[in-house]
Amino acid sequence: MSAWKPTVRTLRDLLVDGERRLSKAGVPSPRVDAELLLAHALGVPRGRLFLSDPVESSDGVRFEALLIRRLARVPLQHILGEAPFRHLLLQVGRGVFVPRPETEIVAEFVIAALGRDGGSRVVVDLCTGSGAIALAIATEVQGVVVHAVELETAALEWAARNVEAHAGSVDGVGSQLHLHQGDATMVHLGVLASLVGKVDVVVSNPPYIPDDAVPRDPEVRDYDPPRALYGGHDGLDVVRGLAISAASLLRPGGLLVIEHGDAQGEDSGAAGVPYVLRESGSFSEVIDHPDLGGRDRMTSASRVAETVSHG
């Protein structure tokens, strides 16, 4: 790994050098990452980089320190300390799953289903992680009550930071957001027992990677918490338990939305989330939805009414 060269004279030179080194190291988006790191080192927005400006030695040192971490494949979001999610900037770091653009589509689906004026709807976000989905809903839909559940203490602490940072936006639309520590597969028996049969929407981005399908990207493999990634031998252990919790929490006709891997959709048969939900007997209108790239990445379903036997 080559060291930063003090002969660099302008910010553009720094940027070009950083992009070249990141590209050589296999970083997927070297230009964008170099720009964001340089802006962070200078303490300015990315759009305010005046690349013809001369380099202050202190700027070069700060940029080099950040660049070295990224060359080592530390996630960009960990270096910057934040990750964008829809209109939000969320604090992230060790111990919490970094929210992905794919999950923004899940949040958008729920927001559209609720309508921007949600009224007195109750939403539960299971496996909330950083609080991304819960906060998107609570800040974009008026008057909803959102309960966000996370099992891991480290992730819950990140979620608490984000809820505190965006509390004004939640209050501004007349919504509420409550954090709970609990197991998504048993939440109906624990922290959310009082909500059984009363919830309008349950949404989740659960761990769904099969245990033996270790991600190739070091940023995911080495930094995202394992319990936020892996879901058993077929990746669906948490989904199966989550379906039981959701069936208990949802009112008849309530909506369940689950993100899943692109190999766990409708065409995957018994290895897919739609199959799990149909086999549970608790859901109808089970529909798989593609992401922007056309890959199956999300399943929605409606809670059926319980049948009562009079025999």
Catalytic residue set: 97, 205-206
Distance, in Å, from the CA atom of 133 to the CA atom of 139, rounded to the nearest integer, reads 10
The most distant pair of C-alpha atoms in the chain lies apart, rounded to whole Å, by: 88
Side chain identity at residue 113, one-letter code = A
Sign of CA dihedral 151, 153, 155, 158: positive
The Cα–Cα gap between 92 and 80 comes to 9
Rounded distance, CA 264 to CA 236, Å? Answer: 9
Q: Cα angle at 82 between 16 and 174, to 5 degrees?
A: 140
Amino acid identity, residue 44? Answer: V
Contact of 251 with 197, CB cutoff 8 Å: yes
Structure tokens at 281: 């007997």
Nearest to 275 by CA among 262, 261, 286: 286
Beta bridge pairs of residue 177: 146
User: Which stretch of DSSP H or E encloses residue 20?
Assistant: helix 11-24
